[in-house]
Chains A and B, each alone.
Chain A
Amino acid sequence: MVTQLTQNERFLGLIILIALGCLGLVMAAAGQHDPIGMHGWLVVVCSIVMIFVLANGYFAPEPSEARLEHYYDDPSKVGIVVAMLWAIFGMFIGDWVAWQLVYPDLTFDAAWSSFGRIRPAHTTGVIFGFGGNALIATSFHVLQRTTRARLPDQLSPWFVLLGYNLFCLIAISGYFMGITQSKEYAEPEWYADIWLVIVWVTYFLIYLRTLARRREPHIYVANWYYMAFILVVAILHIVNNLAMPIAWNQAKSYSAFSGVQDAMTQWWYGHNAVAFFLTAGFLGMMYYYMPKRAGRPIFSYRLSIISFWGITFMYMWAGSHHLHYTALPHWVQTLGMTFSVMLLVPSWASATNALLTLNGAWHKVRDDATLRFMMMAAIFYGLSTFEGSFMAIRAVNSLSHYTDWTVGHVHAGALGWVALITFGSIYAVVPWLWKQPRMYSPKLIEWHFWLAMAGTLIYVFAMWNSGVIQGLMWRTYNESGTLSYSFIDSLVAMHPYYFARAFGGLLFLLGAIIGFYNVLMTIRMAANVETGDEAVIGNPAAAGE
């Protein structure tokens, strides 16, 4: 991989790594016993490791000009493997969180493993680690194919991918040490946030520079979704994280916002993180990999454009549905509620468009688990957006808010939509990237599919049940007008559902581990073809393709 870089790029990369290492040293020296000092050392170690990787091929001859006739896929390949690693880490922690809710003793009496610290480690690990890396990796792949243009240079994609993972490492190691600015999905402190801005701007520039070189006159709709994802996440991230550190050598900072303005800014961020991180980017994936895999153009290209503008502009207004019955002015709550209900239209337009694309290719869906992953993702996308629009109605929210219903909705979206479309896309793209006729084992994809389905359904049904029971118990009064149930009563009622959820999550995690194995074996298959050894290729007679 290093030998593919030009000597100039290797040199620039080395400079960046040395500068980063020095910055880490400064953080370590100035921060001393503050957690920021620990993060300084983390930066130093990461830079040194990368310098060693670079040193390995540093003096190799210049790569041949022929490389410029092909797309540049090395960052996508690494990104996909890293995404699968994060998936396993994030879901392992998620399942641990779930078992902690069943057996509270599973904190093992340590501070770092308490619920409040590992919960954000789960959400960051799956959303940013797994989702983010999958988005970066696939976006580079899709961008080049749909524009018929190679990435503008070979260094900046690595900067984005590796820099982004450094951000994820700083974020998650920080939670274990107790660092947080207590904004959900935006927990990392100011220095991590600044670093992410630099990485993210570079990412957007890669997009613009590649588009400027494009050969295809029209910009395919998937790119619009990916670009909305990059651009809007940048805006959200910068505004929501405006803060003043208490000192330049300390991790702690204070937000620029307070009171209800803080809450509104946070949930404007939070809901649009759902919209542009967990939805727009993955719709980009869907609009490319699903038609490709099915071998059929998207059912209605026009509809895909209409739903794009509908989704991007309506989501912006929906954030206040997270703040029903708070100090937020009533009309702002109503505004958020109204837009959330209207949002159903473009959301269902996308889901329907995807399913109608498959209409006429159902035999492929039956035989091909990869395509089935994508189809189920579209169904869960439709389901979770319907549910979301319903929960945004103030009266419904009075029942669902604070309960596991929200958690059920989250994971109908996160497992059913985000994770399924990602696994489907990974199974489609891995053979293309490594130039193989198919994945190592179609049977294992089948296993992964059914484990993921079972896991998602168990998880979501458990949470729906427990959420509605919780909500009803908390609002049941007896004849004398006092509450019928104490909080602890509702907790006892949750126990079996928490057990079921943790079990469903375990199935889902097992599926992901199988998927990772399958990806690794496909890569090995590619390596063996190069060396002429065909022995590891799996059973070709297995179902599907």
Chain B
Amino acid sequence: MFDFDHGSIVAFSKSFGLFYLIALSIGVLIYVYWPSNKQRFEDAARNIIHDEDKPCR
């Protein structure tokens, strides 16, 4: 059975990052290149250029 000793904790700390970082990267890439997000990103980049003092809530 799985032994919860020093060796297995070290093995876990050495490897879990590999999986979650790859998963994270894939997630980010999907979000960034999701076609329907394109317009939203372009708007976001453009919208900040204008008006400095316009109202708000």
Contact = CB atoms under 8 A, between A and B. Distances in A.
Contact of B52 (A150, A313, A335, A432): A432
Given A302-B32, A432-B52, A317 B17 contact: yes
Interface size classification for chain B: 20 to 34
Contacts of B57: 148-150, 213, 215
A414 to B, nearest CB: 27
A301 B44 contact: yes
A317 B18 CA distance: 12
Nearest to B44: A218
A71 to B, nearest CB: 6
Interface in A309-368: 309, 313, 317, 331, 335
Interface in B16-46: 17, 21, 24-25, 28-29, 31-33, 40-46
A292 B48 contact: yes
A216 interface: yes
Nearest to B21: A313
Contacts of B56: 69-71, 144, 147-150, 215
Given A70-B53, A296-B49, A297-B49, A306 B28 contact: yes
Given A216-B47, A218-B40, A306 B53 contact: no
Contacts, number: 72
A291 interface: yes
Which of B21, B29, B48 counts the most chain A CB atoms within 10 A?
B48
Contacts of A71: 53, 56
Contact of A291 (B25, B48, B54): B48
Nearest to B43: A218
Interface string A120-151: 00000000000000000000000011111110
A313 B24 contact: yes
A306 B21 contact: no
Contacts of B43: 218
Interface in A280-303: 288, 291-292, 295-298, 301-302
A144 B52 CA distance: 10
Contacts of B46: 297
A360 to B, nearest CB: 14
A162 interface: no
B55 interface: yes
Nearest to A71: B56
Contacts of B32: 302, 305-306
A466 to B, nearest CB: 37
Nearest to A216: B47
Interface in A201-242: 213, 215-218, 220-221
Contact of B55 (A70, A217, A302, A306): A70
Nearest to A287: B48
B48 A306 contact: no
Given A147-B56, A297-B45, A301-B41, 7 more contacts: A148-B56, A148-B57, A217-B40, A220-B47, A291-B49, A313-B24, A335-B14
Interface of A: 69-71, 144-150, 213, 215-218, 220-221, 288, 291-292, 295-298, 301-302, 305-306, 309, 313, 317, 331, 335, 432
20 contacts: A69-B55, A70-B53, A71-B53, A146-B48, A147-B56, A150-B56, A150-B57, A215-B57, A218-B41, A220-B44, A291-B49, A292-B48, A292-B49, A297-B49, A301-B41, A301-B44, A302-B33, A306-B29, A309-B25, A309-B28
